[in-house]
Amino acid sequence: MISLAILISGRGSNMESILRAIKKNRIPVKPAIVISNKPDAKGLKIAHKLGVPTAIVESGGQKGGSWEYDKKLVSTLEENGVTPSNGLVCLAGFMRIMSPEFIRKYRGRILNIHPAILPSFPGLHSQRQALEYGVKYSGCTVHFVDEGVDTGPILLQAVVKVHENDTEETLSKRILRQEHKIYPEAVRLFAEGRIKTTGRKTTVAYESRPLKK
Ligand code: GRF
């Protein structure tokens, strides 16, 4: 069975949606560890309530993208059984860029959720970017993490309508509801070994179910 680590920095609502789906036996993974780089991340308390081990790996001034910091992450992951051969690392509002060394080590086993329809509006404040651009639809994307910022192969996307009177807050809320659906679904597909990646393209294999008579 896949061992899952979820990396957070704050609220942890995506983490919660994944952990709750696991508790309901909808995803065949072991929730091994929740790691935060912020000691006061709200999500830590939620993980604790749900009975999932937590760890804090503080940045200590080490910049995003530094292997110095990511080495500490790797130790914590490995101590908790999340290895490059059996692990899955889900970034869920983890506000650090991963180092190329980390990505190489866990390649194909790191997922992220982004609050826009990639490749539109990568980086920070995507909902604000979408409103300022004037798009009529936005949404969210679960993708594999590669060396770029929000550039890895796309796994799932969900679309929401942008309303004329939307603020960053109302649009973010509408997108977040979809995030909570597609992230657990993506983890399930990964855990069930149904995702095939060829270059940038991912395909999902579904079991064929016998027709009911
Ligand atoms: C979400 O909007 C996610 O798309 C982005 O960061 C936010 C994290 O929210 N990457 P939460 O901590 O999961 O509530």
Q: Which phi and psi angles does 102 have, rounded to 5°?
A: -65, -45
Q: Are the CB atoms for 158 and 139 separated by under 8 Å? A: yes
**Count of domains for the chain:** 1
Question: Does any ligand 1 atom lie closer than 6 A to the CB of residue 125?
Answer: no
Residue 184's pLDDT is what?
Answer: 98
Please, is 165 exposed, middle or buried when counting C-beta atoms within 10 Å of its C-beta (0-12, 13-18, 19+)?
A: exposed
Q: Does the Cβ of 93 fall within 6 Å of ligand 1?
A: yes
pLDDT for 212 equals: 64
Give the residue whose CA is nearest to atom 1 of ligand 1: 93
User: Is 81 within the bounds of a domain?
Assistant: yes
Ligand 1 neighbourhood includes 87 CB (under 6 angstroms): no
Q: Domain for residue 97, yes or no?
A: yes
Tokens 């990646």 identify what position? 197
**Residue 209, domain member (yes or no):** no
Residue nearest to atom 2 of ligand 1 (CA): 115
For the chain, residues with pLDDT lower than 70 are 207-213
pLDDT in the model for residue 59: 86
Q: Let me know if residue 212 belongs to a domain.
A: no
Short-list 97, 101, 110, CA closest to 2: 110
106 is a domain residue: yes
Strand partners, 204: 195
Query: The domain containing residue 75 runs over which residues?
Result: 2-204
* CA atoms lying within 13 Å on the CB side of residue 122: 12
Question: From atom 8 of ligand 1, which residue's Cα is the shortest distance away?
Answer: 93
**Amino acid 207: pLDDT:** 62
Element (H, E) at 132: helix 126-133
| CATH number where 41 lies | 3.40.50.170
The residue nearest atom 6 of ligand 1, judged by CA position, is: 93
SS3 209: coil
d(CA 19, CA 44): 12
Residue with tokens 């149904």: 194
Pocket test for ligand 1, best of 138, 174, 179 (most atoms within 8 A of CB): 179
Ligand 1: atom nearest CA of 14 is: 13
Q: Is 31 in the pocket of ligand 1 (CB under 6 A)?
A: no
213, part of any domain: no
